Amino acid sequence: MSDTKAHVPVLLAETLAALNINADGCYIDGTFGRGGHSARLLDALSPQGRLIVFDKDTAAIEEAKQYFSGDQRLQLRHDSFANMARLGTEQDLFGKVDGVMLDLGVSSPQLDEAERGFSFSRNGPLDMRMNTAGGETAAEWLAHVEKVELVRVLRDFGEEKLAKMIAAKIIQYRTDNVLETTQQLAEIVRSCYSPQYKGVHPATRTFQAIRIHINQELDDLVQGLNDAFELLAIGGRLVVISFHSLEDRIVKRFIRDTQVSHTPKHLPVIEQTTPYLKSVSKLVRPSDAECEENPRARSGRLRIAEKVMP
């Protein structure tokens, strides 16, 4: 792929090792991006191996078509990984997949291209949709959202302490202005913070929160994890890279809860009768060297689990 530089894959070697690749196996990359992980996964597969990739983003899938066309082992799906169960039904894959990986969040091209509207440091239209083929843009949503809902989103998805003040300013601003650019939004948020404020850019949490809401990222994650679990074969690996604590908490609890929910209450854990996820290692963080080379890796956290039978 000539465009791999557009997005530097995070925790690449660790992810590949975590997948414990069987060369003839069937794998799913739920977040193709620019194919950094997928390309290396394909390298490790034999002609009998299969890789099915998802991405919500039309541009990501277009790139995949361009660079991987002709590789019979690869199947592309312009879809959310939250629809993995549909794949299972269509292709009879329940209990047959050797590994599912998710590298959550946004890709560097999404952040770097101003017109995508994800970045507060690049002025562009307030879009923030991963899938530009449909759905409401951030500008459209901000034009009608009720204050109470906006506060909830900023708090729940951004952990923003000034959620009430920022929501009030946005609502006030839109009564006399059209809120349509990333710069306008970043400026509104900045005006809520004291000039003495020191920390990440004040708009970081607001942009994260709105992006998560617009793309239903946490709902998709919960559904995707459930589907991945059903698709995995016994011995199959679930490998997830997350970039903030909200995602990581969901992944951590999901892995823990499969064990609890699949254990009949009247039986001790050792008499569990249905498959569950067993955590394979502690949380893996990028090395200092990786963070130095790729600052976007800094917040990456990798969790690895294996589907096991008691």
Q: Which residue from 57, 164, 183, 159 is spatially nearest to 108, judged by alpha carbons?
A: 57
Encode the chain in three state secondary structure.
CCCHHHCCCCCHHHHHHHHCCCCCCEEEECCCCCCHHHHHHHHCCCCCCEEEEEECCHHHHHHHHHHHCCCCCEEEEECCHHHHHHHHHHHCCCCCEEEEEEECCCCHHHHHCHHHCCCCCCCCECCCCCCCCCCCCHHHHHHHCCHHHHHHHHHHHHCCCCHHHHHHHHHHHHHHCCCCEHHHHHHHHHHHCCCCCCCCCCCHHHHHHHHHHHCCHHHHHHHHHHHHHHHEEEEEEEEEEECCHHHHHHHHHHHHHHHHHCCCCCCCHHHCCCCEEEECCCCECCCHHHHHHCHHHCCCEEEEEEEECC
Q: Which is nearer to ligand SAM, 104 or 192 (CB)?
A: 104
Q: Which is nearer to ligand SAM, 8 or 168 (CB)?
A: 8
Q: Which is nearer to ligand SAM, 30 or 117 (CB)?
A: 30
Binding site for ligand SAM (CB under 6 A): 7, 9, 30-31, 33-37, 54-57, 60, 80-82, 103, 105-107, 130, 220
Q: CB of residue 55 vs ligand SAM: minimum separation in angstroms? A: 4
Q: CB of residue 224 vs ligand SAM: minimum separation in angstroms? A: 6
Q: Which is nearer to ligand SAM, 36 or 158 (CB)?
A: 36
Q: CB of residue 111 vs ligand SAM: minimum separation in angstroms? A: 10
Q: Which is nearer to ligand SAM, 25 or 36 (CB)?
A: 36
Q: CB of residue 190 vs ligand SAM: minimum separation in angstroms? A: 26
Q: CB of residue 258 vs ligand SAM: minimum separation in angstroms? A: 20
Return the residue nearest ligand SAM (CB atom): 33
Q: Which is nearer to ligand SAM, 107 or 258 (CB)?
A: 107
CA 209 – CA 308 distance, rounded (Å): 35
Q: CB of residue 101 vs ligand SAM: minimum separation in angstroms? A: 8
Q: Which is nearer to ligand SAM, 91 or 272 (CB)?
A: 91
Q: Which is nearer to ligand SAM, 38 or 184 (CB)?
A: 38
Q: Is 92 exposed, middle or buried (0-12, 13-18, 19+ CB in 10 A)?
A: exposed
Q: CB of residue 82 vs ligand SAM: minimum separation in angstroms? A: 5
Q: Which residue from 220, 228, 285 is spatially nearest to 255, judged by alpha carbons?
A: 228
Q: CB of residue 8 vs ligand SAM: minimum separation in angstroms? A: 8
